[in-house]
Amino acid sequence: MKKRVLITGAAGFLGSHLCERFLKEGFHVIAMDNLITGNLRNIEEFFKLESFEFYHHDVSKFVHVPGELDYILHFASPASPIDYLKIPIQTLKVGSLGTHNLLGLAKAKNARMLIASTSEVYGDPDVHPQPETYWGNVNPIGPRGVYDEAKRFQEAMTMAYHTYHGVETRIVRIFNTYGPKMRLNDGRALPAFVGQALRGEDITVFGDGSQTRSFCFVDDLIEGIYRLLLSEYAQPVNIGNPDEITIKEFAEEVVKLTGTNSKVIYKDLPVDDPKQRRPDITRAKEILGWEPKVKRSEGLKKTLEYFKSLPQDELFKKELNFGS
């Protein structure tokens, strides 16, 4: 009998990569998404497989899955500042109510549940790099609050189910990640820069570009998540690439890689934009024997190939239709 895994947010960037990995590992994958920010194109190739099924469902509402479940991976959530500014209530609900529903499902099915938390739980950090023991510096009522606080609540709820109900839980704190199947118009730095470069527009760096991020290639991230799920460790684990870079340098790398004539221009820094971010991955190394392998030059090349392979009109589609 194949092990059965439920993946929420399955049509999104990370969810679709998880579907692929778990199918390759011989699992039966039950994919779920409400398609607000996800895209069926990301998982279309799996529909022909007997070991894959898809539910069009919003996990903020009661979740029912027939049959047994061994694992649940909760990856449903808008995950870019632009998205959660446009759909703040859904962002809050999927992280809080959605997590509660799925923890209830995990308890009922006796399944192990892994939640996708985030480096945003550290807010604009005054400890650098960020270890899991740092409690963070988050503005609850700022524009990022809807995401950050939902994710912090999600961690609290998950630990409570672990402690009080004995549910087996895993918490991954995901740092900035990039790669194929990222949405070109999600407003994040990399798709924004690549899209601008390919359209021949100015590259918009926010602030003076001195803020830092540390970008992890998606294959490395998926490997870390897979190991964490199968580990016996219930405390949060940072997964990310500690190779830190300023956003200005990052934009320059995209200019060089794409060979564009676009020039870099500077715009206002969004409110509460973290000044620096780099994961301390000591815990992941010790507990999971994991560290990232893919260099940014290699990862960026693969990501650019993906963006170039998209239909041309995709490049000019700037807005998402978020529906109701």
Q: Which residues are catalytic?
A: 147
Closest CA to 99 of 171, 186, 174, 31: 171
Distance CA 173, CA 225 (A): 10
Q: Which of 204, 231, 246, 276 binds ligand UDP (CB under 6 A)?
A: 204
Is residue 247 close enough to count as binding ligand UDP by CB under 6 A?
yes
Distance CA 293, CA 277 (A): 19
- Considering only the C-alpha atoms of the chain, give the largest distance between any 2 of them, rounded to a whole number of Å: 58
Q: Which of 112, 213, 227, 278 binds ligand UDP (CB under 6 A)?
A: 213
Range 262-321, binding ligand UDP (CB under 6 A): 270, 273
Position of tokens 């524009």? 143
Name the residue nearer to ligand UDP (CB basis): 28 or 278.
278
Is residue 216 close enough to count as binding ligand UDP by CB under 6 A?
no
Is residue 194 close enough to count as binding ligand UDP by CB under 6 A?
no
Taking CB under 6 A as the rule, which mask of x and - marks residues 122-161 in contact with ligand UDP? ----------------------------------------
Name the residue nearer to ligand UDP (CB basis): 134 or 233.
134
Burial class, 238, CB count within 10 angstroms (exposed 0-12 / middle 13-18 / buried 19+): buried
* Least distance in angstroms from the C-beta of 128 to ligand UDP: 14
Length of the chain: 324
Quote the DSSP letter at residue 285. I
Query: Segment contacting ligand UDP (CB under 6 A): 26-34, 97-105, 206-214, 278-286?
Result: 206-214
Question: Which residue type, as a one-letter code, is found at position 21?
Answer: R
